[in-house]
């Protein structure tokens, strides 16, 4: 019931918006709905006792193995919290955008939120898959209708890439359901499967492909930079802040429990691929001239690290990876909001069209810097804690891999500071007239920065949330052969 | 049985009504008659009745398919009111021919004897040859009719040869006897039996448009009047699949034929999906997508699982509903575009008529098999059956081809939702609106509550 309410708040708000199509109040209604979800999630976090909660458990079509099982544990709750926390800012960012049909844009965003919450609460593999695919649809239309110039080809490419993974995942889930015997796709039932090693070796990729594309890790990232830069700012926020976390979450829920030996078999391969992607993303980000593309590649870099942390599969690394996932969401929303704010003022996201803006917009420059320190993982920010935990974890596994991981943070600092330099510092080349940070900019960015620093100094609330389940997972699934 | 007789009489009645009554009453007459037939079928529910000395058997399988076929025809008749409003003459003949064809279709779902199967196929097909040529002044329509007729006759020839050979080996046309023979063949006649079954299956494969017996389908679909195309791709296809499955349901197929079915599944999946990628004419796209769906249905055949009939039923019905809706939308868009059938004509549909665009999207997503539409449940169950019966590689290939399939449906969706240039304003009559909305809502409802439709 609790979970149902959680999903219904955004879903009903979105449906209301589609039916009534308020134009002026659309954003306000959407914001109110997301804030309600946030408050409700906050209450869930307070009420959470540390044991997994199964809130809904009923049959949908029993004969066909379709079941509705929903609930959450600490990890799920972290993802729910992340979704609930980020969406008000995504909606808030829309106040500055001048998009056609604001009610539809907001409805699509809220549908996405509802489906994402569905992904994070589903406790049945098929239900998970259904929400996983559904979450894609609103974003697809958001891109197709409101995207940038070259959106037609790019949107379809993005859709096909994601569905390639999705269908592969479906095949894997169905295979497991048949092996299980009773067509029961509950996570608990699938985790109890004991598949032979040679099956696990191929099944690993069947299941993992979906998440590898969603994240994306190298070399499955072909869709990502173009999609991020063509999508409207809010769409990119959804993609980068929340949707890619579905990948991490899916790996934890479906890959490790079902094919532990397969995961152990491919562990090094995946970590190395992730690190290659992380370094590659960092190097390319340095060469970008467009802020949105830079964020896209920086996201690729960060995600590679997250995936490497997850596959290192020890307490430090997994906790760090999840913590950093949270940090990354906050950071990327901030950065993308700033991109939108700059485009509003300059008319473009090209860094060549900027430069020396600090003289005209000192407050915006300060906000930019504060958001950025999280991205480069300075101490006392969330990013520092997440990355430090991950390094510690990866180090336990292999010193060279840890070295690769540390390289990415250095690269991160380089490309971020270089971007800041090109946007804000230097001489005021273009002499544009522009406003400094407005009240709206402060309302969005200051809370994000506050979260960053509070959780950077005092990470205990989040760590307590995920510690228990992570330890359970790691002890239940010993990875190393 | 009484339903069958009623529909036959209804067809004759329709011809007379065409001479005497005003045109307005034709479609309502047909619809009322069909609903009466449905009622008669309902009253025979759960009564496993045989007719003509075990030649026709109305069992659960036959009844449920017959009902679906009648309902689909009703849907098409409702669409027909507007579709035939512009036609000047011979409207009654069109309805009557469809009714006769439906009689054949119902026979196909409930035969127990190969002669009835053959009669069913012929009764189904001959009206279709005429219907395909329904637009008398259109060159392409004539071409479609001729191609369909020639290739259809060819398939009938194959089929007749097949059942003759079967008779040669089993000394009976009765399905039960043939099935018994298949489990314990008389030594020395296996080759005869194998060839007979091979030709029979080839004849049926022609009707379901499985590769390599699919060549007629794109041309015929493209040339025929849209309503007839819709009839062919829904009612005819569903009936043909029911007939096909009825034949092999309880039969231990010889190894070679099992192998042939697997190969056919691969070829059909591959060719249907890959060639559909290259289509820009919407009707040809639907023809190849129809071939692709035949491939998925064949996959459900391979295992002959106890659940296959229910999967078959769910799949064909949901596919048919989506197809009917899309053909209605196509007709409207084609009119607005003055006869063009390129998928371009859907451009800007969302801006000119949002509701139509949303339904079109739902129907296409259902055909593509995206979650929460009926098509997803259908595909999911086909894959599940494929894996369960051990056809792992074939299922994996089908999943891959489903991905290819999604691409060409999404391209059409993309046209409909591409903004900036507003599409032409479509004129939607209330009845057409009803049909389209019904299809859209049905596809959603069956996706959310798949239990509504079960065997």
Question: pLDDT tens digits for A395-447?
Answer: 988 889 999 999 998 999 999 999 999 888 888 777 777 788 888 889 999 99
Tell me, yes or no, if A61 comes closer than 8 A to chain B by beta carbon: yes
Of the two residues A239 and A359, the one the predictor is more confident about is A239
Q: Determine the average pLDDT of the residues in B338-360.
A: 88
Give the span between the Cα atoms of B208 and B217, in whole angstroms. Answer: 9
Mean pLDDT of A310-314: 90
The alpha-carbon gap from B387 to the nearest alpha carbon of chain A, in Å, equals 6
pLDDT of residue B453: 78
Backbone angles phi, psi at B103, to 5 degrees: -60, -45
Q: What is the mean pLDDT of residues A11-29?
A: 86
Q: State whether ipTM is beyond 0.90.
A: yes
d(Cα B179, Cα B190) in Å, to the nearest integer?
Answer: 13
**What pLDDT does A480 receive?**
60
Q: What confidence score (pLDDT) does residue A295 get? A: 92
Write down the pTM of the prediction: 0.94
pLDDT tens digits for range A30-40 = 999 999 999 99
Contact B396 A177 (CB under 8 A): no
Residue A122's beta-bridge partner residues?
A70
Find the mean pLDDT for residues A192-220.
92
Establish whether the linkage from the previous residue to B212 is cis, with ω within 30° of 0.
yes
Query: What pLDDT, on a 0 to 100 scale, did the predictor assign at position A281?
Result: 93
Cα-based distances in Å from A96 to A337, A423, A439, B109: 10, 20, 12, 61
Of A59, A109, A65, A119, which is closest to residue A89 (Cα–Cα)?
Answer: A109
Q: Which of A94-103, A220-229, B235-244 has the lowest mean pLDDT?
A: A94-103
Q: What is the DSSP letter of A53?
A: E
pLDDT in tens, A354-365: 888 888 888 999
Query: In terms of pLDDT, which residue wins out, A84 or A479?
Result: A84
Whether the per-residue pLDDT at A333 is higher than 70: the answer is yes
| pLDDT given for residue B45 in this prediction | 66
- Give A271-294 pLDDT, tens digit per residue: 999 999 999 999 999 988 899 999
Domain boundaries, chain B: 254-455
Are residues A145 and B400, on separate chains, in Cβ contact within 8 Å?
A: no
C-beta atoms of A64 and B396 within 8 A? no
Looking at residue A481, its pLDDT comes to: 47
Is 50 exceeded by the pLDDT of residue B7?
yes
Measured between beta carbons, which residues in chain B are less than 8 angstroms from residue A205?
none
Tell me the two tokens of residue A145: 């209708």
* pLDDT number for residue B114: 92
The pLDDT of residue B25: 86
Q: Of the candidates A66, A141, A168, which has its C-beta nearest B417's C-beta?
A: A141
A177 part of contact set with chain B, CB < 8 Å: yes
pLDDT exceeds 90 at position A19:
no
- Could you tell me which residue, A321 or A181, shows the higher pLDDT? A321
Predicted pLDDT of residue B377: 92
Residue B159 has pLDDT above 60, yes or no: yes
> Which residue of B388, B399, B414 is in closest CB contact with A156?
B414
| Mean of pLDDT values over B205-212 | 90
CA dist B323 and B432 (Å) reads 14
Measure B435 CA to nearest chain A CA, in Å.
Answer: 21
Per-residue pLDDT tens over the stretch A73-118? 889 999 999 999 999 999 988 887 777 888 889 999 999 999 999 9
Task: For residue B371, give the DSSP letter.
Answer: T
What are the distances in angstroms from CA A332 to CA A313, A374, A452, B89, B299? 25, 10, 12, 66, 45
Q: What is the pLDDT of residue B423?
A: 67
> Averaged over A238-244, what is the pLDDT?
92
- Enumerate the residues of chain B whose CB falls inside 8 A of the CB of residue A156: 407, 410-411, 414
For residue B420, the model assigns a pLDDT of 65
Q: How confident is the model at residue B46 (pLDDT cuts 50, 70, 90)?
A: low
For chain A, give the percent of residues with pLDDT over 70.
99
User: Any bridge partners for residue B111, and if so which?
Assistant: B56
Across the interface, whether the CB atoms of A152 and B384 are under 8 A apart is answered: no
- Number of Cβ atoms within 10 Å of the Cβ of A153: 11
If one counts every other C-beta atom within 10 angstroms of the C-beta of residue A272, the result is 17
| A137 and B CB contact within 8 Å | yes
**pLDDT tens for each residue of B436-445:** 999 999 999 9
Among A174, A198, A199, A203, the strongest candidate for a mutation testing the B interface, having the largest count of B CBs within 10 A, is: A174
Q: What is the DSSP string of A211-277?
A: HHHHTTPTTS-TTHHHHHHHS-HHHHHIIIIIIHHHHHHHIIIIIHHH-HHHHHHHHHHHHHHHHHH
CA distance A412 to chain B (A): 36
Mutation pick from A114, A178, A213 vs chain B, by most beta carbons of B within 10 Å, is A178
């Amino acid at each position: 019931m609790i979970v149902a309410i959680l999903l219904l708040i955004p879903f009903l708000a979105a449906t209301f918006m589609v039916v009534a199509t308020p134009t002026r109040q659309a954003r306000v209604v959407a914001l109110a709905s997301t804030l309600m979800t946030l408050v409700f999630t906050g209450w869930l976090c307070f009420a959470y006792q540390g044991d997994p909660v199964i809130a809904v458990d009923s049959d949908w079509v029993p004969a066909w193995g379709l079941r509705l099982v929903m609930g959450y544990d600490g990890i799920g709750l972290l993802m729910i919290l992340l979704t609930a926390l980020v969406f008000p800012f995504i909606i808030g960012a829309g106040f500055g955008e001048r998009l056609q049909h604001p009610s539809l844009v907001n409805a699509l965003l809220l549908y996405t939120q509802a489906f994402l919450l569905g992904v994070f609460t589903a406790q049945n593999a098929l239900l998970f898959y259904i929400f996983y695919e559904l979450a894609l649809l609103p974003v697809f239309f958001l891109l197709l209708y409101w995207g940038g110039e070259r959106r037609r080809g790019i949107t379809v490419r993005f859709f096909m890439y994601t569905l390639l993974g999705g269908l592969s995942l479906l095949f894997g889930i169905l295979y497991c359901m048949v092996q299980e015997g009773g067509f029961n796709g509950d996570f608990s039932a699938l985790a109890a499967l004991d598949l032979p090693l040679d099956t696990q070796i191929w099944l690993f990729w069947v299941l993992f492909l979906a998440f590898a594309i969603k994240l994306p890790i190298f070399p499955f990232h072909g869709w990502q930079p173009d999609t991020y830069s063509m999508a409207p700012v809010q769409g990119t926020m959804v993609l980068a802040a929340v949707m890619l976390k579905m990948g991490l979450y899916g790996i934890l829920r479906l890959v490790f429990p079902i094919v532990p030996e397969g995961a152990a078999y491919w562990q090094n391969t995946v970590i190395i691929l992730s690190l290659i992607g992380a370094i590659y993303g960092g190097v390319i980000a340095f060469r970008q001239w467009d802020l949105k593309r830079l964020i896209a590649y920086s996201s690729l870099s960060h995600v590679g690290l997250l995936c490497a942390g997850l596959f290192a599969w020890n307490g430090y690394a997994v906790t760090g990876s999840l913590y950093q996932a949270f940090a990354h969401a906050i950071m990327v929303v901030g950065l993308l909001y700033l991109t939108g704010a700059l485009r509003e003022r300059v008319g473009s996201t090209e860094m060549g069209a900027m430069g020396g803006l600090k003289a005209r917009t000192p407050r915006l420059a300060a906000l930019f810097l504060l958001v950025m320190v999280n991205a480069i993982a300075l101490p006392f920010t969330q990013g520092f804690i997440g990355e430090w935990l991950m390094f510690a974890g990866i180090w336990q596994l292999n010193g060279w891999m840890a070295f690769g991981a540390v390289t990415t943070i250095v690269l991160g600092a380089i490309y971020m500071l270089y971007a800041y330099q090109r946007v804000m510092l230097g001489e005021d080349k273009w002499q544009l007239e522009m406003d400094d940070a407005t009240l709206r900019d402060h309302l969005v960015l200051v809370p994000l920065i506050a979260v960053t620093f509070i959780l950077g100094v005092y990470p205990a609330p989040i760590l307590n949330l995920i510690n228990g389940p992570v330890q359970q997972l790691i002890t239940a699934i010993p990875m190393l052969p | 049985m009484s339903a069958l007789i009623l529909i036959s009489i209804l067809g004759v009645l329709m011809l007379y009504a065409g001479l005497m009554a005003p045109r307005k009453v034709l479609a309502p007459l047909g619809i009322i008659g069909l609903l009466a037939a449905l009622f008669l079928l309902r009253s025979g529910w759960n009564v496993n009745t045989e007719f003509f000395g075990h030649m026709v058997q109305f069992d659960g399988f036959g009844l449920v398919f017959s009902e679906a076929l009648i309902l689909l025809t009703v849907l098409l008749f409702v669409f027909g009111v507007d579709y035939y409003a512009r036609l000047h003459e011979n409207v009654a003949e069109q309805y009557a021919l469809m009714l006769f064809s439906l009689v054949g279709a119902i026979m196909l779902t409930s035969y127990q004897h190969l002669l009835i199967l053959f009669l069913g196929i012929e009764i189904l097909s001959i009206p279709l040859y005429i219907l395909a040529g329904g637009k008398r002044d259109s060159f392409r329509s004539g071409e479609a009719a001729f191609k369909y007729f020639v290739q259809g006759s060819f398939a009938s020839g194959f089929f007749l040869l097949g059942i003759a050979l079967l008779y040669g080996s089993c000394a009976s046309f009765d399905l039960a006897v043939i099935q018994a023979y298949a489990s314990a063949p008389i030594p020395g006649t296996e080759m005869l039996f194998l060839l007979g079954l091979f030709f029979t299956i080839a004849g049926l494969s022609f009707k379901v448009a499985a590769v390599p017996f699919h060549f007629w389908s794109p041309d015929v679909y493209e040339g025929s009047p849209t309503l007839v195309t819709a009839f062919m791709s829904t009612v005819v296809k569903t009936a043909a699949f029911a007939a096909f499955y009825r034949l092999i349901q309880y039969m231990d197929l010889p190894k070679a034929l099992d192998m042939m079915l697997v190969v056919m599944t691969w070829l059909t999946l591959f060719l249907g999906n890959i060639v559909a990628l290259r289509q820009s004419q919407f009707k040809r796209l639907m023809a190849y997508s129809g071939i692709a769906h035949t491939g998925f249905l064949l996959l459900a055949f391979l295992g002959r699982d106890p659940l296959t009939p229910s999967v078959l039923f769910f799949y064909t019905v949901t596919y048919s509903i989506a197809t009917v809706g899309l053909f209605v939308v196509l007709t409207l868009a084609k009119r607005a575009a003055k006869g063009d059938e390129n998928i371009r004509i859907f451009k800007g549909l969302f801006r000119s008529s949002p509701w139509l665009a949303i339904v079109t999207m739902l129907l296409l997503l259902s055909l593509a098999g995206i979650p929460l539409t009926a098509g997803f449940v259908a595909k999911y169950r086909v894959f599940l059956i494929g894996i369960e019966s051990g056809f792992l590689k074939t299922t994996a290939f089908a999943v891959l081809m489903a991905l290819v399939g999604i691409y060409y449906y999404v391209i059409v969706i993309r046209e409909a939702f591409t903004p900036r240039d507003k599409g032409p304003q479509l004129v939607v009559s209330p009845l057409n609106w009803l049909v389209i909305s019904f299809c859209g809502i049905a596809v959603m409802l069956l996706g959310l509550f798949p239990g509504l439709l079960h065997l």
